[in-house]
Amino acid sequence: MHRVFYISDGTAITAEVFGHAVLSQFPTQFESITIPFVDSVERARQVREQIDLSQQQDNSQTLVFHTIVCPEVRNEITQSRAACYDFLNNFVSPIEKQLGLKAQPRLHKTHGLDNRRLYDQRIDAVNYALDNDDGISTREYDEAQIILLGVSRCGKTPTSLYMALQFGIRAANYPFIDQDMDQLELTHPLKQNRHKLFGLTIDPRRLHEIRSQRRANSQYASLEQCQREVERVEQLFRLEAIPYINTSDHSVEEISAKVIDQTGLKRTLS
């Protein structure tokens, strides 16, 4: 197993995301160590010693992915015995030439509070998603940018929260439950917001697995119940011309990206 360090003078989120994307292409396992806020030469020296010790103890090559603004701090890390990859500064110089502009590096600019409005927008969106989760309330649907529909445990809540936290999107979600199945139809608040509706569905066997982890050997988790609910809800989606996607084999990141792509919702990045 290879050991990989994600190092940054900020949160290290960028280094992690880039690093995971790159390493996912390789058929081997990696032990990850994330070290954020390496923003002084003294701290960088301590981290370099940790990296060198890891390289010395490990039989395989240690990797370092970093996004460090300060040249002195960055130089301390790159003097380690590991293979270092700079995800930030490798792009700065070519882009400076292309744009004819000089970069102005500053700590914590990527995930800091430079744009308070965008930060507040994301927090407000998270609070909205929590307040309008699982059909708890439908009174604020006029404020929603999207309303996710689907059976219980198909991924509505994590998708709503991910879109809120990552992109500042106000996402509500509404569940269709067993009691709805005999006369399944859109409620009045949903009909009033028909243009915001988007459906999530799931393979019944996958739904059976998920529900069994929560309530094993129950009617709720039975394969027959899962098949019945999925079939009825998909019929409703088709009848009402509600766009929908299958979440069975997708992560919450992929589900969110597909929903945003198909609806044209604007991502807010900060």
> Does the predicted model carry a pTM greater than 0.85?
no
Domain range annotation of the chain = 2-99, 116-263
Question: What CA–CA distances, in Å, run from 239 to 119, 140, 173, 233, 242?
Answer: 39, 25, 20, 10, 8
pLDDT given at position 50? 96
| pLDDT tens digits along 209-257 | 999 999 999 999 999 999 999 999 999 999 999 999 999 999 999 999 9
pLDDT given at position 28? 92
Residue 105 has pLDDT above 70, yes or no: no
Across 162-180, average pLDDT: 95
Given CATH 3.40.50, say whether it is the number of domain 2-99. yes
pLDDT given at position 48? 97
CATH of 116-263, one of 1.10.3430, 1.20.120, 3.40.50, 1.10.10: 3.40.50
| pLDDT tens digits along 42-71 | 999 999 999 999 888 877 789 999 999 999
Q: Do domains 2-99 and 116-263 have the same CATH topology?
A: yes
pLDDT given at position 269? 65
- Give the count of alpha carbons within 13 A of 87, CB side only: 22
Q: Which residues contact 238 (CB under 8 A, 6 or more apart)?
A: none
